[in-house]
Amino acid sequence: MFEQNFNENNNNIIASSENDKSEIKSKKIKRIILILVILVVILILIITLVLVLKNKDKDEPNRETVQDFVVKGIFIDTENFDKLRIRKGFILVENGIIKSFKETNPNESLKLYDYSDKLILPGLIDLHLHAPQYPNCGIGLDLKLLDWLNNYTFPEESKYSNLTYAKKNYELFVNDLAKTGTTRAVIFATIHNEATLLLMDLLEEKKIFAYVGKVSMDRNSPDYYIEANGAENTEKFIEECLKRNYQYVQPIITPRFTPSVSDSYMEELGLLAKKYNLSVQSHLSESKFEIELVKELRPNDSFYAESYDKYGLFGKEIKTVMAHCVHSPDEENDLIKKNGVFIAHCPTSNLDLSSGISPAKKYVNQGYNIGLGSDVSGGHSLDLFEVMKYSIEMSKLRNIYIDTSQEHITLSEALYMATNKGGSFFGKVGIFENDYEFDAIVLDESLVKNYKEFTESERLERFIYNKNAKIEAKFIKGNKLF
């Protein structure tokens, strides 16, 4: 009996211990399952977080390149040269093109860039500058044109045969240009194909519209900076540009100026301009010494511009921009106007290199195609507001000392040259009109404010004259650079 009880008890103990074991086991399993579930949930959360962050990164550039939007602000532009147009309201932009100006928001479902009380101008157009001379800005300006070229310009430009040097300096130039009010530019590079293409790649990447010229020069140049097979090099450069299928930059035929280009090379450049339907840029009647030099080289021409015109490099069907035209005689001016040649008026450069005072007011009044150029580094700054200021001030000196019959350039005329007229070299650019490309800059007046109340026109004038003025936002054909 005892033995039976003992066995039963023993069996019960064994059974209960087995029950305990299986209970512990099932608890363990449950715990493991719970831990697994928690781990899976954490994993799902991490994956979701990563995906959200990834999409956020993708959204950032999209937000900046969105093409359809509305901009609110105080828009100042120039329909004609004689007065500013000032309008408060909204501009609707679709695919980079201005669709309408309204006093109320035309489409509240679109992204709104709200610059309510800020002044907004069309982007500024620089019709003449030399990118490789950027490191020389503000130096060597106690020299005149020809000495300055030999002592500063040619030695600097020759360095761009070295691509490492070119990359370093062109990156700096393009980044600095992007920060200014300039939205489009017509640019001289150097005689080097590779470095010039590199500059074009950088501008294309930044989405800055530009004509870029590989410079042509085969005479009266230093041994270390002169072309041997110029026409062949130029054609190779053009072909490479076509292959790269740029959207924002394009090549432009660029004889440096008549003293540096032989007649035969000039003729070949004329043929290339025609063959590839390219525009042309060069210098004309900048200084009196230069004009004398051209007379010696081409005694049969009546005036300097004939040295381009005889080879099909001076307007008509070939769109052409000539820098300076400070000392152009009447016959030359007649040809400029007749052929629709653009004048790049570069007043900072004309003063810095003691070249002379341009009759720019006459060109404006008489309906010439005249825009502004910084002419870096003959001009000391990339800033076109500085160039606008000099255009006004230099014209006052001309009025006082040279030609009392012409008044000085006004604020609206300076803005007209920097936007509307200069913009027409690029097409439908430079004014806030329907069907025009939306290039715009928003002015940051925070550093030039004081307690006086100003009209919009006075605000613009103060901005132009004040070195502390900055750009708050910049659009090029609807692309927001910053």
CB atoms under 10 Å from CB of 232, counted, come to 11
Return the ∠ at Cα 240 (arms to 237 and 245), rounded to 5°.
130
Burial 117-152, CB ≥16 within 10 A → b, else e: ebbbbbbbbbbbbbbbbbbbbeebbebebeebbeeb
Binding segment toward Zn ion, per CB under 5 A, in 151-159, 170-178, 318-326, 440-448: 318-326
Question: Does residue 352 touch Zn ion according to CB under 5 A?
Answer: no
Strand partners, 443: 471
Question: Which residues lie below 8 Å from residue 121, measured CB to CB, with a gap of 6+?
Answer: 76, 77, 181, 415, 419, 440, 441, 443, 460
Return the ∠ at Cα 424 (arms to 472 and 342), rounded to 5°.
115
Map residues 422-441 to x or -, x wherever contact with Zn ion holds by CB under 5 A.
--------------------
Residue closest to Zn ion, measured at CB: 375
CA gap 439, 419 in Å, rounded: 10
Map residues 212-231 to x or -, x wherever contact with Zn ion holds by CB under 5 A.
--------------------
Q: Strand locations in 174-262, DSSP E? A: 182-188, 209-213, 215-216, 249-251, 254-255
Binding segment toward Zn ion, per CB under 5 A, in 175-183, 208-216, 257-265, 317-325: 317-325
SS (H, E, C) 405-439: CCCCCCHHHHHHHHHHHHHCCCCCCCCCCCCCECC
Q: Which two tokens stand for residue 314?
A: 């001076």
User: Minimum Å distance from CB 129 to Zn ion?
Assistant: 7
Between 121 and 323, CB nearer to Zn ion: 323
User: Minimum Å distance from CB 89 to Zn ion?
Assistant: 39
User: Minimum Å distance from CB 323 to Zn ion?
Assistant: 5
User: Minimum Å distance from CB 184 to Zn ion?
Assistant: 17
Secondary structure class of 36 (helix, strand, coil): helix
Binding segment toward Zn ion, per CB under 5 A, in 32-40, 47-55, 319-327, 412-420: 319-327
Map residues 182-201 to x or -, x wherever contact with Zn ion holds by CB under 5 A.
--------------------
User: Minimum Å distance from CB 130 to Zn ion?
Assistant: 6
Between 70 and 360, CB nearer to Zn ion: 360
User: Minimum Å distance from CB 283 to Zn ion?
Assistant: 5
Burial 38-48, CB ≥16 within 10 A → b, else e: eeeeeeeeeee
User: Minimum Å distance from CB 398 to Zn ion?
Assistant: 20
CB 32 within 8 A of CB 26: no
User: Minimum Å distance from CB 374 to Zn ion?
Assistant: 10
Pairing of strands 111-122, 440-444: antiparallel
Map residues 361-400 to x or -, x wherever contact with Zn ion holds by CB under 5 A.
--------------x-------------------------
Give 246's Cβ-side CA count (13 Å radius): 25
Binding segment toward Zn ion, per CB under 5 A, in 43-51, 195-203, 316-324, 440-448: 316-324
User: Minimum Å distance from CB 131 to Zn ion?
Assistant: 11
Binding segment toward Zn ion, per CB under 5 A, in 45-53, 134-142, 323-331, 417-425: 323-331
The residues of the shown chain that bind Zn ion, judged by CB under 5 A, are: 323, 375
